[in-house]
Structure 1
Amino acid sequence: MNYQFVEKSNRLIQLEALIPRLKQSHPNFHELNIQLGKDLAGYVGEKNLRYYFEFIQAKKVIHLSGLRLHGSTYYTQIDHLIATPHIIFIIEVKNRKGIIAQNQHGQYVQQYQQTSVTFDNPKHQADIQKRQLDYILRHHGFPCIPIIPIVAFPHNSVQLDVSITSKEVMVAQEVPFFTNDCLANNRQLYYNDHQLQQLEKLLRSLHQPREVDLIKDYNIKLEDLNTGVLCPLCRNIFMQRQYATWTCSKCENSDPTAHHQALRDYTHLFSPIINNRTARWWLGLSCYSLTYRLLSEFPVIKPSGRKAVQYNLSSLNKIDKSS
């Protein structure tokens, strides 16, 4: 079985680029910092859950992660989709720790370190995803197939309270056992190999990542940002350029290519296109010739008229988004 790597969402990528640079005096700093923690926890949870998929006993299967599909009336986000010729599983991941219980109103409650937090019933979320996926399949002419929604808690310190009685809500270790039992009890063939391949092709084509522009959405101005080259190890200390390398005053890390991450941050927050003047501002440099040398490794976009020479930084983003 081939499993798709879990990728970071566009919002998480932008948050990781933004938070170390956003001044804490910005009115939305606290909100965005909390969102970063939530998104990062969700990403780690999805990655951790993927390990258990290796124990699912299915020969013909497709796996897609982070699907965002337009259903009957609105978009639905599916953390993991595992499709076999017999059953489709959709998995909602909740990377929460502590004791998870369900109250008399159907809400879920997380109890951790003497604090109690209420959150939406993830089983209801998974059921909505099931209905939306069923609509999409029927709309595109696919045969009806059982769709089983699962809610998985992958954090190693989570404990599910006895008040959670749904058999589709489980800790991560139970996922392969549950799916294998479902497959063993349902051997009816709904999709052949060709239909399974067409399903994967369709879902990939329908996937629409959420468009994110944190700079615009939160009215972040240029003066709200701290510019410079962040240490790749500390990620909160700006490095100095000395003797053809970047040096961190805190951990003494030396890295001649540390500006690559700074420029990569720029592409995530603004654009993959940059000129010398903007690069000097962003990298915290004053020397035109030094900035020219740093940018010279990137393709030049031919200027028109009196427009300044621009460089294409897109190659910096040709990296594994699951890193």
Structure 2
Amino acid sequence: MIVLPLEKTWELQQLETIVARYNRRDGLWRRLDEAYGRQLAGYLGEKSLYYYVNLWPRDEVLGLFGLRARGVSGYFQTDLLVVTARFMLIVEAKHLKGELSINESGQLLQRVDGVTEVYGNPLVQAEIQRYQLEKLLQRHGFDHPPIYTCAAFTHDKAILNIPDPPHNLMTSQRLFEYYQMLYRSNRAQLSRAEVTKLAVFLKDQHTPLDCDVMADFGVRAEWLAQGVPCECCDGGMMRYHYTKWICGACGCVEAEAHWRGLRAFAVIFRTMWVTNKQARAFLGIRSRSTCQRLLASLPMEGERSTARYCLEGLFR
């Protein structure tokens, strides 16, 4: 059973919405797009683990995706943490394609189309997470079964070129086999109630990272394209015209694209409130009355020039 479901991080959501609105000809767009690609790869890697978690007995396995909690110093984050009565397992997911190897210094090397990229060793990362997790549980007086770690390569185009790899370094297809091995090798140390209590405690410790991509990359609001990115084509922007949204690139028509645009506003500017003036500037609507009509169904606070509209309902 999934106790902490996988969600897109605020950083990924912010990058996703900013990249769609930023001028591709500007040099900063490449940096934003590369950062978005890294965040998206991590998300896709974790998402692919859902299949294998669902193969494990639902009444015996509790899974937490993307757990971020305070450790010995600062925060630590796991891609997937599995809690059972017999053992706990930290899975470090790597969504990398191409030929993958580990050099004598323990670095992970990725080679794609003749280009080599260098990454940290995922097993070392998982071991650091294990240490942090153990200290967290000790600090709060929790007894726990043994904590194991593994690194799983989730991309279907990954080629592992690692002679005699450690038993806990694998492609994601071997996760089910690895789970069975750990299950046979360990006896139950916690009751079902204790497993649930431990998993719920860890869920309560989860603290999502608060980030501000606009500030981190020096992006100004006026640099973002007005309107709503079209979902029918690549790069087109929709503008509101006589009760409907129309894409200037492909002609696609939508009736309620403004809700998608307002969700993007909330993500980019890290707020659940918007004024009529802010909505007009972001959505590219000239008429105050037209914008007020589009916002009318949202909860409102204040009156006239001080009115602002709550966007929380758009995320439910």
Q: TM-score, normalised by structure 2?
A: 0.94
Deviation of 1:61 after TM superposition, in Å, equals 2.1
Give the SS at the match of 1:96. coil
Q: Which amino acid aligns with 1:96?
A: L
Match of 1:321 in 2: none
Match of 2:162 in 1: 162
Match of 1:310 in 2: 308
Worse overlay, 156-165 or 101-110? 156-165
Match of 1:42 in 2: 42
Residues 20 and 236 in structure 1, CA contact (< 8 A), matched pair in contact too: yes
Give the SS at the match of 2:52. helix
Does residue 1:227 correspond to 2:226, yes or no?
Answer: yes
Give the SS at the match of 1:8. coil
Match of 1:85 in 2: 85
Worse overlay, 191-200 or 71-80? 191-200
Identity %: 31
Deviation of 1:196 after TM superposition, in Å, equals 1.1
Deviation of 1:57 after TM superposition, in Å, equals 4.4
Give the SS at the match of 1:240. strand
Match of 1:30 in 2: 30
Deviation of 1:24 after TM superposition, in Å, equals 4.3
Match of 1:135 in 2: 135
Matches within 5 A, 1:184-263: 184-187=184-187, 189-234=188-233, 236-263=235-262
Q: Distance in 1 between the 2:92 and 2:76 partners?
A: 11
Deviation of 1:11 after TM superposition, in Å, equals 0.4
Deviation of 1:236 after TM superposition, in Å, equals 1.9
Q: Distance in 2 between the 1:220 and 1:240 partners?
A: 23
For these two proteins, the number of residue pairs brought into alignment is 315
1:74-113 deviations in Å (ceiling 9; x for gaps): 2111010111001000101000001111111111111111
Match of 1:296 in 2: 296
Deviation of 1:162 after TM superposition, in Å, equals 2.8
Residues 69 and 77 in structure 1, CA contact (< 8 A), matched pair in contact too: yes
1:8-65 deviations in Å (ceiling 9; x for gaps): 1110011111111123466643222101011111111111121012222474221110
Give the SS at the match of 2:237. coil
1:218-265 deviations in Å (ceiling 9; x for gaps): 232222222212213335211132331111233322101011111111
Residues 64 and 81 in structure 2, CA contact (< 8 A), matched pair in contact too: yes
Residues 101 and 164 in structure 1, CA contact (< 8 A), matched pair in contact too: no
Q: TM-score, normalised by structure 1?
A: 0.92
1:146-166 deviations in Å (ceiling 9; x for gaps): 101010011111111133621
Give the SS at the match of 1:55. coil
Match of 2:56 in 1: 56
- Show structure 2 runs of 5+ residues with no match: none
Q: Distance in 1 between the 2:220 and 2:209 partners?
A: 23
Q: Distance in 1 between the 2:114 and 2:217 partners?
A: 33
Q: Distance in 1 between the 2:112 and 2:263 partners?
A: 37
Does residue 1:17 correspond to 2:17, yes or no?
Answer: yes
- Relative to structure 1, the CA distance from residue 140 to residue 3 in structure 2 (aligned partners, 3 Å threshold; closer, same or farther) is closer
- Relative to structure 1, the CA distance from residue 97 to residue 202 in structure 2 (aligned partners, 3 Å threshold; closer, same or farther) is same
Give the SS at the match of 1:239. strand
Q: Which amino acid aligns with 1:38?
A: R
- Show structure 1 runs of 5+ residues with no match: 319-323
Matches within 5 A, 1:261-280: 261-270=260-269, 271-280=271-280
